[in-house]
Copies of this chain bind each other. A is one copy, B any other.
C-alpha cells in the first residue's frame, strides 16, 4: 500500500468545527503576517452558548419511529451533532448560538428496509425527513424547511462493502459508508475507489452520489456521478433499483435523475460504483507556468487529448504565492508564476507511458518541471486546507470558498467576473479581500473554478459574506456558468439554480417530486422550493 489516504481514520467531526478533532491545524507565522496585511488583528471572542428549542415530535410519533427498529434520539447533543453542515455561514451561525435548524429527532436505521419504514411513519405522522450522512454539506443541504417537524435520518449505520464484482470492477457499498472506510474495505480486496474530495475524511458514498461530488482524481477516475453504475433508492412509493448496465439506450438514464437529487426524491441506501485495482505506482509532480492563462491552456490541451494524467490542478498566481496549506513550500512561487500539480496512478508501465507523453507536452507548452517535491507536498496535505478555516475565523478573518464550472472559452471571463464581484462586494463594505482561485477538474469542453476568499471579518460576518456570495452568484449566472461544479444546490444555491434550469426543467423536476413523494416528506426546500 502506498496510499496514505487508506491510513486516515474514520473520524467524527465535531459540531461547528471541520475535520478530525485530534488533528487541528494552527496558523503559521507567515499566514498570521498575511492576516495583518488585511487588517485582521483579533478574533471575535468565544461563541455564544447553545440552547435548543424542544423537539416538536410527539411521543406517539417517536414511538412509531422506534417501532421501525431504527435507533431514535431526541437529546440535545444528538440533535446538535446533526445541525447543518460546514459552510462558513453554518460555522458562523453555530458561533452565534443559532440552533434554529436543528432537527427535532435523529433516527438511525441499521437496515435499508428500516429506511422505507421510517419514510412511511413520516408520511403518516406528518413529519419531514432529511437524510444525513457525512454531514459535510457546504450549501445548506442539511437545513430543510421546518414548517413541519424534521427527522434527521442518520445513514452512517448503513455501512460496509455489500458486494465486489472484481471482474467488472464494480463495488456495492452501503450509502452511509464513509470514504476512508470504503477504501479500507476495498483495499483488503486489492481495490480502490479513488474518490478524494476535500471532504474525504467525513463524506459518505451516498452523500457523494446525491451531491455529484468530484474528487481530486476526477480526470483519472471520473466524477462520482460518472463512477456510479447503480443506485438503490428508498422512495415513499417503494424501492427503486436503478442502473442495469454500464451504459444503455433503454430510455433516459435515470441514475442521472437521482444523482444530484439531494434527497428530494428518495433516500439512496446503496451505491454500485466503479473501482480499480490499488495503484502500485503513484507519482505527483509540480510544474511551474508563467501565468494562469498559460497553465490553463496546457490543461486544456491535455484534457482535449487522449492521454491524460490521474490528477491535474492549477493554482492561480495568488493561490500559488499564498499556498495557505503549506506556506513553507511556497518558495518556488515567490518568484512569480503559477503551480500545477500533475499526478499519475496505475501500474508502472501505464504510468510510464502517460507520464512520458504528458510531461513532454507540458514542457513544450511552457511548463518548468519542479519534480516530485511539490507534488508530494500537495498530495500529503490534500485534505488539510479546510482545517485552516476555523483558526482563521478564530483569528478574526472571514474566509469561505465557492466554485463554478463553464466551457473553456468562458473560463477567463468567469474567473475575472467572479473575482471582481467578490472583491467589489467586500471592498464596498470596507474589507478588501484576497481572492485566489484554482482549476481542479477539467473536461474536454471546460473546467471548474474554485475560489477561496479571505477578508477581515466585520461585526456581522454572516451578513458581510452573504453580500459577497450574492454578488458572486449574480456574476456566475451572468456569465452563463453553472452555480456549482461539485458542492450541490442545497438551500444556498436554490434560487440561482432555478434561474439556471428554467421553467420547463423545473416542471419536470416538480413532477418527479410529486409522483415519488406526494406528501412532501423528503427534504422540503432542499434543491426545489
Contacts and interface: CB of A to CB of B under 8 A. Distances in A.
Contact of A249 (B246, B256, B305, B484): B484
A503 B353 contact: no
Contacts of A349: 357
A261 B252 contact: yes
A214 interface: yes
Given A251-B489, A260-B251, A504 B245 contact: no
A213 B250 CA distance: 11
Contacts of A446: 168, 245-246
Interface string A206-242: 0000011110000010010100010001010111111
Contacts of A77: none
Interface stretch (A43-51, A320-328, A406-414, A464-472): A406-414
A248 interface: yes
B246 A405 contact: yes
Interface of A: 165, 167-170, 211-214, 220, 223, 225, 229, 233, 235, 237-242, 244-262, 265-266, 274, 276, 300, 304-308, 310, 346, 349-350, 353-354, 356-357, 404-410, 441, 443-447, 480-489, 493, 497, 500-505, 507-512, 514-516, 527
Given A249-B486, A251-B260, 8 more contacts: A168-B445, A212-B247, A249-B482, A252-B259, A265-B508, A307-B353, A510-B515, A511-B516
Given A240-B505, A445-B170, A508-B516, A262 B256 contact: no
A415 B256 CA distance: 28
A349 B360 CA distance: 11
Contact of A508 (B276, B407, B512): B512
Contacts of A242: 501, 505
B350 A238 contact: no
Number of copies of this kind of chain in the complex: 2
Contacts of A249: 211-214, 260, 482, 484-489
A485 B248 contact: yes
Contact of A308 (B233, B274, B306): B306
A251 B488 CA distance: 7
A482 B245 contact: yes
Contacts of A276: 304, 444
A162 to B, nearest CB: 15
Contacts of A254: 257, 501, 505, 508-509
A304 B256 contact: no
Nearest to A218: B247
19 contacts: A235-B504, A237-B503, A237-B504, A240-B504, A245-B405, A246-B443, A246-B445, A247-B441, A249-B260, A249-B485, A249-B489, A250-B260, A251-B260, A252-B256, A254-B257, A257-B508, A306-B346, A307-B350, A353-B356
A338 to B, nearest CB: 20
A444 B170 CA distance: 9
A351 to B, nearest CB: 9
Given A256-B257, A350-B307, A511-B514, A245 B406 contact: yes
Contacts of A307: 307, 350, 353-354
A169 B504 contact: no
A308 B165 CA distance: 22
A260 to B, nearest CB: 5
Nearest to A240: B504
The 4 A-B residue pairs with the shortest CB-CB distance, nearest first, are: A256-B256, A511-B515, A240-B504, A212-B249
Nearest to A304: B169
Contacts of A407: 165, 167-168, 170, 229, 245-246
Contacts of A484: 248-250
Contacts of A169: 304, 408, 444-445
Nearest to A226: B247
A131 to B, nearest CB: 16
A361 to B, nearest CB: 8
Tell me which of A240, A245, A512 has the highest count of chain B C-beta atoms within 10 A of its own C-beta: A245
Contacts of A229: 407, 445
A357 to B, nearest CB: 5
Contacts of A237: 503-504, 507
Given A240-B502, A252-B261, A350-B357, A167 B409 contact: yes
Tell me which of A239, A247, A249, A509 has the highest count of chain B C-beta atoms within 10 A of its own C-beta: A249
A250 B504 contact: no
Tell me which of A258, A356, A408 has the highest count of chain B C-beta atoms within 10 A of its own C-beta: A408
